[in-house]
Structure 1
Amino acid sequence: MTTNTNDTRTILVTSATGKTGRRVAELLAARGATVRAGSRSGATRFDWEDVTSWAPALKGADSAYVNYYPDLAAPGAADAMRTFGELAVANGVRRLTLLSGRGEPDAVRAEEALRASGAELTVVRAAFFAQNFTEGPMAEGVAAGTIAFPAGGTAEPFIDAADLAEVIVETLTRDGHAGLVHEVTGPRLVTFAEVAAEVSRLSGRQVAYVPMSEGEYASLLQEFGLPAPDAQWLSALFAMLLDGHNASVTDGVKRVLGREPRDFTAFAAEAWGRSAVAEA
């Protein structure tokens, strides 16, 4: 991977407080770029639910990292991408990198809507994040000793969010990626049961994987306060993503960064091994 420590671009990072957004922002800043960290309450206000916040955040930027919330496969995402792309081009933003989901037909429609804007678009389709087990709602279950998910015995090539962020930064700061789709995964397939076993081994406390049906998982999400339509949509999305069609690895990280992606075991050792040492 080549490194530029004197990048003079101004880059908008949407959803800049999320798993990938904050990592992308940090890496860009380390390269010398002027980062606009877009969020609902930050200095650069950006809210995917408030279209009036988009143009002010885009104005004067050279490029943007597009991380749509709640998901690129969500209802209304394609319309949002079409509008965002038009505003980006109108405000002089030349280059866009879009985070997309691997194996999501609805996300592809949103990709196409953004591509139609005419901006230089790079799409990065990512596997399930390893950090989902340590950051966000699923982390609470892991801490309580249970990984409940509608994945059955399907294996997933979990990608480290740090690797993903590096790929995104390369596409934003290096030429040659416009028009490309990079599909990125970790180096091997891991089942959710294997994740639970790894966490148990490293942390010194028992963590169990509890496979659930799509309906059971939707009910669980509602118990945690998610409205029924959102819970049903999200549960259906996860069940579709983990039906086996994504159970393969790619060389996307190596093609962009020139190195192999981080293995899940290395991520797990850092995430849970240290806490085990601290608790001993």
Structure 2
Amino acid sequence: MKDILILGGTGKTGRRIVQRLHSAGLPVRTASRSSGFDLGDPDTWASAFDGVTAAYLVEPDLRAGVDRQARFPRLVTEAVGAGVRRLVLLSAHDVGKAGDDHPLKAAEQAVRDSGAAWTILRPTWFSQNFSEAFFLPGILHGTLALPTGDGRTPFVDAEDIAAVAASALTEERHDGQEYQLTGPRAISFGEAADLIGRATGRTIRHLDVDPDSYVERRVAEGVPRDVALLLTDLLVSVRDGGSAALSDGVERALSRPPRPFEEYVAEAAAAGSFSSAPAS
């Protein structure tokens, strides 16, 4: 077997996939901005795909510009032309229901039309967003202020996403599959805050906020307005009940149920992940 390439190999899912493949004794390498790979610069692509037969793709970033997003089909074409024979794409939950202008819709189609074996992963909100991403500042300050109301969503553990991806990169049985990935039950952000508070011995509350106020706060923090609007729409979808559905993707892919949110919280609390901001 030639190399397996993990784009975004230092990210929440990428580094976990790398760990799993390393543990299995498989040849794996990573490509990220820190290693000189840039979706916006085609000159960096050839060296990344040289000698690779399977690749995990995580672009286009929804925060990226239109030009960069439009390069993704070209990236897929060049990957297959370089000898990549299996592609696993990290997409987003319910992209299949999105409009044609959604950037990940074009990314999914490029993978399907590539001529390579492919698998598409569509996870819902990551559990690790509370300990490794944009919900952590609220956890650290004791108030998770989000426009989500009492809406519920089945947070999925990044460990489960990584397990599905690692299997899809190495096993033919996943070829042509689209996996909607969720946790085993839908919970509210208030319940998530309570579970983290009990595990850490701290008082953490969820505060429902007005969507427009949330957009302005994020813009004031330096987030581009279009990105703030996109994130707010996703959070309001939770409030409106649009993100509560459970899916069987993890069980179909791994023949086991997904990890519950409580298990993630216990492990993250024991590791001190709710105590400080992640290293940059």
Q: Flag whether TM exceeds 0.5 (same fold).
A: yes
The answer to whether the 8 A contact 1:156-1:190 is kept is: yes
Name the structure 2 match of 1:216. 213
**Cα distance in structure 1, aligned partners of 2:176 and 2:272:** 42
Give the secondary structure class of the aligned counterpart of 2:266: helix
CA deviation after TM superposition for structure 1 residue 85, in Å: 1.1
Q: Does 1:91 align with 2:82?
A: yes
CA deviation after TM superposition for structure 1 residue 160, in Å: 0.7
Of residues 179, 182, 188, the one that matches 1:182 is: 179
Q: Does 1:10 align with 2:7?
A: no
Give the secondary structure class of the aligned counterpart of 1:176: helix
Q: TM-score, normalised by structure 1?
A: 0.88
Within 5 A, what are the aligned runs for 1:162-173?
162-173=159-170
CA deviation after TM superposition for structure 1 residue 17, in Å: 0.9
CA deviation after TM superposition for structure 1 residue 52, in Å: 2.2
Of residues 22, 25, 33, the one that matches 1:32 is: 25
Q: TM-score, normalised by structure 2?
A: 0.88
The answer to whether the 8 A contact 2:2-2:51 is kept is: no
The answer to whether the 8 A contact 1:253-1:261 is kept is: yes
Identify if the C-alpha distance between structure 1 residues 259 and 267 changes in structure 2 by more than 3 Å, giving closer, same or farther: same
Question: Structure 1: where are the runs of 5+ without partners?
Answer: 1-7
Name the structure 2 match of 1:53. 44
The answer to whether the 8 A contact 2:122-2:181 is kept is: yes
Give the secondary structure class of the aligned counterpart of 1:134: helix
Name the structure 2 match of 1:230. 227
The answer to whether the 8 A contact 1:148-1:211 is kept is: yes
The answer to whether the 8 A contact 1:102-1:125 is kept is: yes
Q: Does 1:271 align with 2:268?
A: yes
CA deviation after TM superposition for structure 1 residue 123, in Å: 0.2
The answer to whether the 8 A contact 2:87-2:111 is kept is: no
Q: CA RMSD in A?
A: 2.3
Identify if the C-alpha distance between structure 1 residues 192 and 223 changes in structure 2 by more than 3 Å, giving closer, same or farther: same
The answer to whether the 8 A contact 1:64-1:97 is kept is: yes
**Cα distance in structure 2, aligned partners of 1:242 and 1:33:** 42
Comparing 252-261 with 88-97, which one deviates more in the overlay? 252-261
Amino acid at match of 2:30: A
The answer to whether the 8 A contact 1:147-1:208 is kept is: yes
Comparing 243-252 with 150-159, which one deviates more in the overlay? 243-252
Within 5 A, what are the aligned runs for 1:117-266?
117-240=114-237, 243-266=240-263
Structure 1 residues 43-85: Cα deviation after superposition (integer angstroms, max 9, x where no partner): xx32233232222201220010001152399855762331111
Give the secondary structure class of the aligned counterpart of 2:115: coil
Comparing 72-81 with 206-215, which one deviates more in the overlay? 72-81
**Cα distance in structure 1, aligned partners of 2:5 and 2:83:** 12
Of residues 41, 55, 65, the one that matches 2:34 is: 41
**Cα distance in structure 1, aligned partners of 2:180 and 2:132:** 23
CA deviation after TM superposition for structure 1 residue 136, in Å: 1.9
CA deviation after TM superposition for structure 1 residue 177, in Å: 1.4
Give the secondary structure class of the aligned counterpart of 2:90: strand
